[in-house]
Amino acid sequence: MNLDLLSDPLFLWPCLTGLVFALLLPLCGAYLRLRGEWLAALSYAQMAAAGSLSAAALALPLVLGGPAAAFLAAAVKNAFEEAAEATRGAAYAMLLLAGWGTAVLLAANLPLAERLGHALFDGQLYFTDRSHFLAALGAFAVAVPLLRWLSRPLLLSHFYPDFYRARGRSSRRLHLAFDLVVAGVLALATTSVGVMAAFALVFIPPLAAAPWARSWRAALWLGALLGGLAHLLAFALALVLDQPFGPVLALLLVLLGAASALLARGFPRIAA
C-alpha cells in the first residue's frame, strides 16, 4: 500500500474522522488527568464497544448503541460514587470489566458482532465513512464549547473544592455534565477509531504535553497538536506497512509519551 490511497474515499474518510477525534480526545484527557480519572476513558470506550456490538446484534444503528452505553456508564459511575464516596474509582474497573465481558461474549456468539468486534478492538476503521466524519465534526462542534464552558468550574472545583461548595455550587452536577460530554465523545470515537486507539488519544497526548506547557491553555493546544500529528503519522505508517491502525497509533503514542518523560527528566531547564 502507499500514500496515494489517501485520495481514495475508503481511506480518506477514516483519516479525516480520526483526525477530528485526535484533536478532540486530548482535550477531554487533560481534564480527566486533572481529576485522576484517566481510567474512566478506558471504561467508557469499552462500554461504548459493548453498546455498539449490542446494537449490531439487535439490528439497531451502531451510532446509537455506543453513545447509549457510554452515557449509561457515566450515569452509573456518578450514582456509584454518590452512594459510596470511599470507593471512588471502583466504578471504572467494574464498568470496564462489564463492557469487556459483554463485548467479547457478543463477538464470540454472533457472526456480525464478531466482524465488528475485530474492527473495534483492532482499530481497523473498516466501518468509517462520510457519516462518521460528519458525526465526528458534530461531536467536535458540540464538545469544544461545552468543555470551554466547563473548564473554569472543573479547575475551580479541583483546586478549591471548599470555595466552590461555599458558593452554593454542586460539584456532583458539574462532574456528571463533564462525564456525559466525555462519554459521548469517547463513544463516537470508539466506534470510529477503536477502543484502545481512543483510549491512547485520551491518555497520552495530555501526559506528553504537560511537562512542556507553561499554562493550562498551552497544554490543551499542545496536547491536541500532538494527538493530531501522531494520528496522521500512524495512519500513514499503517497504510505504508499494511498494518492495523489502532496498534500502530497506540505504540507511536507510547513512544511519544516515553520520549517526553525522558526529555523532561534529562533537560529540566527546557521543560516549562
- DSSP class of residue 158 equals H
265 binds another protein (CB under 8 A): no
Instruction: Quickly tell me which residue has 462542534 as its cell.
Output: 141
Which of 4, 215, 242, 269: binder of another protein (CB under 8 A)?
Answer: 215
Nearer to another protein, 7 or 269 (CB): 269
168 binds another protein (CB under 8 A): yes
Shortest Cβ 166–another protein spacing (Å): 4
Shortest Cβ 152–another protein spacing (Å): 6
Q: Are 22 and 253 in contact (CB under 8 A)?
A: no
Cβ-in-10-Å burial (0-12, 13-18, 19+) of 236 comes to middle
Shortest Cβ 171–another protein spacing (Å): 12
**Residue 261 corresponds to which amino acid?**
A
Cα 82 to Cα 17, 70, 75, 242, 250: the distances in Å are 36, 18, 11, 47, 34
Which of 167, 172, 173, 265: binder of another protein (CB under 8 A)?
Answer: 167
Which of 19, 28, 213, 248: binder of another protein (CB under 8 A)?
Answer: 213
Selected range binding another protein among 73-81, 148-156, 187-195, 250-258, rule: CB under 8 A: 148-156
149 binds another protein (CB under 8 A): no
210 binds another protein (CB under 8 A): yes
266 binds another protein (CB under 8 A): no
Which of 89, 101, 145, 161: binder of another protein (CB under 8 A)?
Answer: 161
Residue 123 C-alpha from the chain's centroid: 13
Shortest Cβ 196–another protein spacing (Å): 24
201 binds another protein (CB under 8 A): no
Task: Tally DSSP H helices, then E strands, for the chain.
Answer: 11, 0
264: helix, coil or strand?
helix
Nine-digit cell at 95?
464498568
- DSSP class of residue 168 equals T
Selected range binding another protein among 80-88, 141-149, 151-159, 189-197, rule: CB under 8 A: 151-159
Which of 115, 118, 158, 169: binder of another protein (CB under 8 A)?
Answer: 158
N-to-C CA span, the chain = 41
Instruction: Mention every residue, 6+ apart, whose C-beta is less than 8 A from residue 45.
Output: 70, 186, 187, 189, 190, 195, 196, 198, 199
Cβ neighbours of 157 (radius 10 Å): 23
156 binds another protein (CB under 8 A): yes
217 binds another protein (CB under 8 A): yes
Shortest Cβ 155–another protein spacing (Å): 5
**Residues that bind another protein in the complex, under the rule CB under 8 A:** 34, 152, 155-156, 158-163, 165-168, 209-211, 213-219, 272
